[in-house]
Amino acid sequence: MTGQAQTNEEKRQACKLAKLAESEKPTIDRLWQIYLESKGDSLKGLTTDKNRYELHIRSTFGKKTPNELAPLDVDRLHLDLLKEHSSKTVSNVLELLRRIVNFGIRKKLCPALDWTIQLPKADPDSERIEILTDEQFRALHKVWDDYPDQHIAHLHQFIAWTGSRASEPLKLLWTDVDFNQRLYTKRDTKAGSPSPFQ
């Protein structure tokens, strides 16, 4: 009656505005959804990124905005992941988090951080190439020869001999193969441009 308390209409309006502000808050979850919408199906590794987000980022950081993150939060995630995952997986998860935050900053959805999400240095031992022994090579050939579905065996042989990613041979067309020069062209590569291979 004195006009000092909010009317029911004012309370409803204030509640509505608070909900709107919360829904537009640039949380990591919201930035991730906008990021996915902006990339569409063109994003390479989409399924893997979604899995990384759901398994490792959403529960820890989903409700936070980038500015609510602290370097210590990221360090804790890093250490927690290392308990059960390889350093490469840890690096991929942190890189995805950094990509989402940088996307939000570029699109002016959130202010820039005053610190950088650091990625762990690559383990040089994880990049080593191991050569099959003669015995292993013979065993692999026996598996290929005896495998009931020879289409799969031939696909596996192609991947093994060329070093292709598993999805690349499935995209090949006859026009991509030059039998005379013993070359084939990879289409829609991770790097984004076609390239010939011997």
- For the chain, the domain total comes to 2
Q: Look at residue 117 and tell me whether its pLDDT is greater than 80.
A: yes
Q: Report which residue type is found at 141.
A: H
Instruction: Give the pairing type, strands 177-178 and 183-186.
Output: antiparallel
Q: What is the pLDDT of residues 26-53, one digit of tens each?
A: 999 999 999 998 887 667 788 889 999 9
Give yes or no: residues 93 and 44 share one domain.
Answer: yes
Say how far apart CA 103 and CA 163 lie, in whole Å.
32
Domain span holding position 33 = 21-122
> Does the predicted TM-score (pTM) go above 0.75?
no
Domain-located, residue 1: no
Give the single-character DSSP code of 179.
T
Give yes or no: residues 30 and 59 share one domain.
Answer: yes
**Domain end marker among 122, 145, 178:** 122
Instruction: Give the pairing type, strands 195-197 and 183-186.
Output: antiparallel
Domain-located, residue 129: no
Range 126-135 average pLDDT: 76
Say how far apart CA 92 and CA 188 lie, in whole Å.
22
Residue pair 151/112 in contact (Cβ under 8 Å)? The answer is: no
What pLDDT score does 187 carry? 72
Give yes or no: residues 76 and 152 share one domain.
Answer: no
pLDDT tier for residue 17 given thresholds of 50, 70 and 90: very low
Give the single-character DSSP code of 193.
S
What pLDDT score does 21 carry? 42
Both tokens of 79, joined, read 């250490």
What pLDDT score does 188 carry? 66
pLDDT tier for residue 70 given thresholds of 50, 70 and 90: very high
Domain-located, residue 96: yes
Comparing 134 with 16, which gets the higher pLDDT?
134
CA 33, chain centre distance (Å): 14
Give yes or no: residues 50 and 116 share one domain.
Answer: yes
Say how far apart CA 115 and CA 96 lie, in whole Å.
16
Say how far apart CA 124 and CA 88 lie, in whole Å.
11
Give yes or no: residues 193 and 117 share one domain.
Answer: no
Strand order in the sheet with 177-178: 177-178, 183-186, 195-197
